[in-house]
Amino acid sequence: MSDPFVDAFFALHHGLPRQAPGSDATTRRLLELAGPLPPRPRMLDLGCGPGRSALLLAAETGGHVTAVDLHQPFLDELTAEARRRGLAGAVEPVNRSMADLPYPDGSFDVVWAEGSAYILGFDTALRQWRRLLAPGGVLVLTECEWATETPSPGARAFWDPQYPLRTTERNAAAAREAGYTVVAVLPLPDSDWFDEYYTPLAGRLDAADLTDEATARAVAATRAEIALRHEHGADYRYTGYVLRPRQDDGTGER
């Protein structure tokens, strides 16, 4: 049985450029930092939404992107856009949970997750996705985290109950503990929050039907999130990580 609040939240996001902070410029920069890649790399985009990143990855690399999401309307948007761009053969939408992936170990040269690792939790995502990488493969993900050691009480009151954030230093340490080399760390610019995410989303809120209780709740929650970003945006950020599994060097160390 579906949750009316969740359904209303997704409805507010349908047709938007993005469902989390990001931009094509950031995706391209992370892809550059992840390289060089094999010819026609095998890529897995987890929590792909309507596939903004998946489409760019396929077009930029000439590889094949398996794009995984649980929300079929987003995958339908991706399918239609891939056909429009002539990328239908390069992008494979898959309706499946990122927590239940059937792919054999070493199936992908790149595992990509912009704004979606939080669904599993950063540490769990690092552990579960590592096995999917082929030798020499790379994991690229973005994570919301504290930008300061002393975030404001207002920011903590919002984030602590729903997804306790950590600093870059702690997340990088967690990545190393999980067996990765931290190749690059890229803080996303503030424009990635607004240009293609919050500003289009705010316009959707203004047109929402507030007589529907679930929609009214979703609108109120989203307005509170946007207001928090305006008031306490210096306290937290999204950060991109480019990670490669460490290989045994023959000494027993990894």
Residue 253 to residue 107: CA distance in whole angstroms: 24
Domain range summary for the chain, segments of one domain joined by +: 17-198+238-245
- Asked if 143 and 113 count as a contact pair (C-beta separation under 8 A), the reply is no
Give Cβ neighbours of residue 220 (< 8 Å, ≥ 6 apart).
none
Residues 97-119 have pLDDT tens digits of 999 999 999 999 999 999 999 99
Give Cβ neighbours of residue 123 (< 8 Å, ≥ 6 apart).
174, 178
135 by Cβ neighbours in 10 Å (0-12 / 13-18 / 19+) ranks as: exposed
- Asked if 108 and 134 count as a contact pair (C-beta separation under 8 A), the reply is yes
- pLDDT-derived band at 72, boundaries 50, 70, 90: very high
Q: What pLDDT, on the 0 to 100 scale, is given for residue 1?
A: 58
User: Mean pLDDT in the chain?
Assistant: 94
- Asked if 60 and 36 count as a contact pair (C-beta separation under 8 A), the reply is no
Whole-model pTM?
Answer: 0.94
Tell me the average pLDDT across 144-171: 97
Q: What is the DSSP letter of 216?
A: H
Residue whose C-alpha is closest to residue 54's, from 13, 85, 8, 96: 85
**Residue 166 to residues 67, 118, 190, 233, Cα–Cα distance (Å):** 28, 12, 19, 15
Does 250 score more than 70 pLDDT? no
Tell me the average pLDDT across 217-236: 96
Does 39 score more than 60 pLDDT? yes
Q: What pLDDT, on the 0 to 100 scale, is given for residue 52?
A: 96
- pLDDT-derived band at 17, boundaries 50, 70, 90: confident
Does 184 score more than 70 pLDDT? yes
Give Cβ neighbours of residue 110 (< 8 Å, ≥ 6 apart).
34, 37, 41, 42, 43, 44, 57, 63, 137, 138, 139, 140
Q: What pLDDT, on the 0 to 100 scale, is given for residue 2?
A: 73
- Range 17-198+238-245 classified under CATH 3.40.50.150: yes
Q: What pLDDT, on the 0 to 100 scale, is given for residue 248?
A: 58
Q: What pLDDT, on the 0 to 100 scale, is given for residue 3?
A: 87
Residue whose C-alpha is closest to residue 51's, from 62, 64, 65: 65
E strands, 70-209, where?
91-95, 108-113, 133-146, 180-187
User: Which value, to the nearest 10 degrees, does the dihedral of the CA atoms of residues 89, 118, 4, 48 take?
Assistant: -10
Tell me the average pLDDT across 17-45: 96
Question: Hunting for tokens 């504290």 — which residue is that?
Answer: 146
